Structure 1
Amino acid sequence: MSDIVHKWYEDKKNVDEMVYCNKGELKKWERAVADFFPKEAKILDIGCGMGREAFALFDSGFSIIGIDISEEVIKQVAKLSLKNCYDINFLVYDGYTFPFDDASFEVIIIWAQTFGLLYGDTYKSKFLNECKRVLKKDGLLSFSGHDYDYLMEHHKQYLSGRKFYPYANTEIYWEAFLPQELLSYVENAGFSVVLCEPGKIHKTEDGIVLHCLCRK
């Protein structure tokens, strides 16, 4: 994981802002994808942040483990989980290798456009192979990224090439993608594509993201 990303997510000020922004519900496209998950599936939430997705999926009857590169994030989300009586294990990991045995999960999610923080093709390729390792046979992987065409049309001022800078005066950026690029990552990693499409957040004015659902 890039030092830029790690530094940003260890900053307590940024993590506190994540707590403030946590709405506690799934987005429209996330709800649609979750309908594909097996009932009571064991889910690995990569880049769990402050637990919005984990808490919502737990409430829907799934078993969740959340991991994140930030000790500050894990400290705060674990405290929040305990406070609200959620039986969810939140762990720090190194951004490269998952601390789980092969074939441990039925579903992996990499939501909140975290895929765009895996800078470079080599990193993404190795990351997807690690996802494949810990997925069970026929397991599902769902991930999302920022839509380059949408950003060019609506937020061009925050783009520098394929780098999307939503926060002023910071080094952190999210890579933006075209649909075919996400498909290529999936296919090169040996997954079969279930769907790869734009997804709505809540309302039309909230914008869209690209997301892929694939099967081991």
Structure 2
Amino acid sequence: MQKTSKEFYSERGVDWLSHKKNNERSKEELSYIVRLLRKDWKILDLACGYGRLTIPLAEIGYKMEGIDITPIFIEKAKEEAKKKNLNIEFRVGDMINLPYDSNSFDAVICMWNAFSELVLEDEQVSAILEIYRVLKKDGMCLIEVRNHRSGKLIAANMIDGYDAMPSYNHTRGSMKKLMELSGLEDYRVFIDNFGGRNRLFLEIRKY
């Protein structure tokens, strides 16, 4: 039976995941994100994990909240935020049913290929519509995933030799199709260097 993201990450644990990111790459990714965000915005880190980006952004003055489907990640994020005396609200939750009021955030970021862990098209559309719902007027969302050119859309996934949850191999075309299905028109799909690698981005605006 295929694992869910929650099952896989709960089995592997926080230390295993944190060791997969080196500090230099995290700094490069953070500097990329900072160029897009404003300090007066209220920002949601969607699929925030253990707060890898949420906490550093809060440390430099951004108003952050974080949500992730894996409880052990949220527990760790809360511990780290408390140690650093940071006021960040972290929640356990699912990106296809966000526990926030409409028009709650100026920006939503969904990084580290987390969006690709939704392998059903209707779930992906639901997540996009939920993100759009919680955005304020003039808000923006940035989703980052691996860039795939062709091949099977849904692939079995091995990470460090472990059987992991399946992954959706997004392309420019698959992202554009999702936006057509969602009925949203203010977006752009692009490829850019992110932490030393070319990644696929979906940017959504709410006007």
TM-score normalised by the chain length of structure 1: 0.82
- After superposition, the C-alpha distances for 1:82-129 in whole angstroms (9 at most, x for unaligned) are 122222111111443111111000001111111101111100111111
Paired AA for residue 163 in structure 1:
A
What is the aligned-residue identity percentage?
21
- 2:91 is aligned to 91
Q: CA deviation at 1:176?
A: 1.4
Identify the match of residue 192 of structure 2 among 196, 199, 214: 199
Q: CA RMSD in A?
A: 2.4
- 2:204 is aligned to 214
Matches within 5 A, 1:185-196: 185-189=178-182, 190-193=184-187, 195-196=188-189
- 2:19 is aligned to 20
Q: Which runs of 5 or more residues in structure 2 are unaligned?
A: none
Q: Is this contact kept in 2: 1:8–1:172, CA < 8 A?
A: yes
Q: CA deviation at 1:61?
A: 2.4
- 1:74 is aligned to 74
Inter-partner Cα distance in structure 2 for 1:162 and 1:96: 19
Say which structure is richer in helix: 1
Q: CA deviation at 1:26?
A: 4.3
Q: CA deviation at 1:56?
A: 2.6
Matches within 5 A, 1:131-210: 131-149=131-149, 162-163=154-155, 165-167=157-159, 168-189=161-182, 190-193=184-187, 195-203=188-196, 207-210=197-200
Inter-CA distance 163–213: structure 2 relative to 1 (3 Å threshold): same
Q: Which runs of 5 or more residues in structure 1 are unaligned?
A: 153-158
- 1:156 is aligned to none
Inter-CA distance 169–59: structure 2 relative to 1 (3 Å threshold): closer
- 1:50 is aligned to 50
Inter-CA distance 23–90: structure 2 relative to 1 (3 Å threshold): farther
Q: Secondary structure at the match of 2:100?
A: coil
After the TM superposition, which segments of 4 or more aligned residues of structure 1 sit over 6 Å from their partners?
Answer: none
Q: Is this contact kept in 2: 1:26–1:53, CA < 8 A?
A: no
- After superposition, the C-alpha distances for 1:115-146 in whole angstroms (9 at most, x for unaligned) are 10111110011111111111111210100111
Number of aligned residue pairs: 201
Inter-CA distance 26–124: structure 2 relative to 1 (3 Å threshold): farther
Inter-partner Cα distance in structure 2 for 1:54 and 1:81: 9
Inter-CA distance 61–5: structure 2 relative to 1 (3 Å threshold): same
Q: CA deviation at 1:169?
A: 3.6
- After superposition, the C-alpha distances for 1:49-89 in whole angstroms (9 at most, x for unaligned) are 12121123223421110001111111111111212222211
Q: CA deviation at 1:41?
A: 0.8
Q: Secondary structure at the match of 2:43?
A: strand
Paired AA for residue 200 in structure 2:
L
Inter-CA distance 160–125: structure 2 relative to 1 (3 Å threshold): closer
Matches within 5 A, 1:29-40: 31-40=31-40
Does 2:4 correspond to 1:4? yes
